[in-house]
Chain A
Amino acid sequence: MLRALRAVIGRDLRLAMRRQADIVAAMFFFIIVVSLFPLGVGPEPDQLRRLAPGVLWVAALLATMLSLPRLFADDHRDGTLEQLALAPQPLGLIVLGKVIAHWLVAGLPLVVLAPVLGIQFDLPSDALAVLTLSLLIGTPALSGIGAIGAALTLGVRGGGVLLSLLVLPLYIPVLIFGAGAVDASVSGLGPQAHLSLLGALALGGVFFAPWPTAAALRVALE
């Protein structure tokens, strides 16, 4: 079981390394969206500090969305998805592997970039730490929940737009608790409650989402 999980993660990571343009594009998208806000709303430090958590989290959601359509579409097109579905392991386990690989490729870079981008918003160092921690805990949930949407829209014409309409509303709780954690930390309430809820969402997203995703993939393959 674990061998298969490792094989799927290794496979997707290797594929991502051969197609680095995709990762770099999503990272630059994140950087640019976040950097546009200080330019747009002006250099008022108080205002920027208030905006920062929301802006960084919304940008993270959108950057994750960019890579979601390809999560299963490439495998579907070249027939490897059929082979994954026919592998002797449960398809849910294979999806879990793909979700983990997606997070490593699309989520983790955002976590690494966030503290650097947060400086633009004049965030104090403890708020930066909470922001990074909230992204670290929350982005796996984005990959997990997103996988359900990616599987449901597989093979649908114009699936990219539909995928956003389907998945972004589901991201709302993650956004609220993620940005809320930073706000709570800035206002002195302490981020623990928000981070715990975010952790629960992430665990649910990563370990329960693969099963409905697998069911959706089987329907798409029929």
Chain B
Amino acid sequence: MLEASNLECVRGERRLFADLSFRLAAGEMLYLQGSNGSGKTSLLRMLCALTPAASGDIRWRGRAIGKLGEEFRSELCYLGHLNAIKEELTPLENLLLAAQLAQESLDHDAALDALELVGLLGREDLPCRYLSQGQKRRAALARLVNERRALWVLDEPYVALDAAAVELVAGLIGAHLQRGGLAVLTTHQAVPVTAGTVRELSLDGAHATSGWG
């Protein structure tokens, strides 16, 4: 479903990786590894069509993502290293707003259930600026509970989370893979997911390549 061929990433004067190719089918997860500055986030942003690749192309269901535009974005869920929650709003408002913008129907009760699952029940009416770093991350990750879009692109989803929350998120990703979804994620914590096929890709070395597909 998701196919990248001969991707090259240039940041400033430096080439971070070149000739990077991979293919990801339904129910598969790509686990990106690499040291700091190896281009993991850049690759994720390319997969979301936020940053154009220096060369190479990325295809979704056989068509270039740049051409698909809105059609691709309606199947994409991106969670960056920024939490994308408004500090002035409560976790509940943030969650409902995110669903509205994604044109998903999420009712009040479902949103509360999602917040209960990530352990924020009781704080759903507290503006996010009063939450701790880990709680903010949980508020951001609550989006994944009812997320049914096919491709999840997650940048360091486990950062700032405690062990229980890490397990919970790994469970959500596992359930997503089981439903036939795809996930691409970067992390420095190797966390086993409960289901699906996991592929690994390392960006270390200037010409990272992989032989799959």
Q: Chain A residues in contact with chain B, CB under 8 A?
A: 3-4, 7-8, 11, 14-15, 18-19, 77-80, 82-90, 94, 221-222
Q: Is the CB of B82 within 8 A of A82?
A: yes
A140 to B97, CA, bound (A): 25
Q: How many A-B residue pairs have CB under 8 A?
A: 70
Q: Which residues of A sit under 8 angstroms from B82, Cβ to Cβ?
A: 77-79, 82
Q: Is the interface of A mostly helix, strand, loop or mixed?
A: helix
Is B89 a contact partner of A18 (Cβ separation < 8 A)? yes
CA A14 to CA B94, docked complex, whole Å? 11
Question: Which of A7, A78, A88, A89 touches B83 (beta carbons < 8 Å)?
Answer: A78
Interface residue tally for chain B (C-beta within 8 Å): 27
The 8 closest A-B CB pairs, nearest first, are A79-B82, A88-B74, A79-B84, A18-B88, A7-B100, A83-B84, A87-B101, A80-B84
CA distance A121 to B54 in the complex (A): 60
Q: Which residue of A lies closest to B72 (CB)?
A: A88
Q: Are A80 and B86 in contact (CB under 8 A)?
A: yes
B103 touches A3 (CB 8 A): yes
- Mark interface residues in B66-98 (1 if CB within 8 Å of A CB, else 0): 000010011010101111111111000100011
Cβ contact of B103, chosen from A11, A15, A89, cutoff 8 A: A89
Whether B52 lies near A222 (C-beta < 8 A) is yes
Q: Is the CB of A222 within 8 A of B101?
A: no
Q: Is the CB of B84 within 8 A of A78?
A: yes
Q: Which residue of B lies closest to A81 (CB)?
A: B84
**Which of B80, B88, B97 is close to A82, meaning CB atoms less than 8 Å apart?**
B80
A222 to B74 CA separation, bound complex (whole angstroms): 20
Listed A/B pairs (13) with beta-carbon separation below 8 Å: A4-B101, A7-B101, A15-B86, A18-B89, A78-B86, A79-B83, A83-B78, A85-B50, A87-B101, A88-B74, A89-B70, A221-B50, A221-B51
Contact, CB under 8 Å: A86 / B50: yes
Interface-central residue, A14, A80, A86, A222, by most chain B CB under 10 Å: A86
Interface, chain B (partner A; CB < 8 A): 48, 50-52, 70, 73-74, 76, 78, 80-89, 93, 97-98, 100-103, 127
Cβ–Cβ contact B76 & A86, under 8 A: yes
Contacts of A15 in B (CB 8 A): 86, 88-89
Looking at chain B's contact residues, the main secondary structure is: loop
CB distance from A121 to the nearest CB of B (A): 38
Chain B residues with CB under 8 A of A83: 78, 84, 98, 101
Is there an interface contact between A84 and B101, defined as CB atoms closer than 8 Å?
yes
| Chain B residues whose C-beta falls within 8 Å of the C-beta of A78 in the assembled complex | 82-87
Contact across chains for B97 and A7 when beta carbons are under 8 A apart: yes
Contact of A222 among B50, B87, B88 (CB under 8 A): B50
A87, A90, A222 — which one has the most chain B CB atoms within 10 A of its CB? A87
B103 near A88 with CB under 8 A, answer: yes
Q: How far is the CA of A221 from the CA of B101 in the complex (A)?
A: 18
Are A82 and B89 closer than 8 Å at their CB atoms?
no
In the bound complex, how far is the Cα of B103 from the Cα of A11, in angstroms? 14
| Minimum distance in angstroms from A6 CB to a CB of chain B | 9
Contact A14 B84 (CB under 8 A): no
The answer to whether A14 and B93 touch across the interface, beta carbons within 8 angstroms, is yes
User: B85: which A residues are within 8 A, CB to CB?
Assistant: 78, 80
Given contacts A18-B127, A221-B50, A222-B52, contact A87 B86 (CB under 8 A): no
Please name all residues of chain B whose beta carbon is closer than 8 Å to the beta carbon of A14 when the two chains form the complex: 89, 93
Closest to B75 in A: A88
CA distance A80 to B97 in the complex (A): 11
B98: chain A residues at CB < 8 Å are 83
Complex contacts, B97 vs chain A, CB 8 Å: 7, 11
User: What distance in Å separates the Cβ of B54 from its nearest Cβ neighbour in chain A?
Assistant: 12
Q: How far is the CB of A66 from chain B (nearest CB, A)?
A: 19
Residues of A within 8 A of B83 (CB): 78-79
A188 to B66, CA, bound (A): 57
Asked if B102 contacts A222 (CB within 8 A), the reply is no
Complex Cα–Cα for A87 and B80 (A): 14
* Bound CA span A4–B73, Å: 14
- A79 / chain B contacts, CB cutoff of 8 Å: 80-84
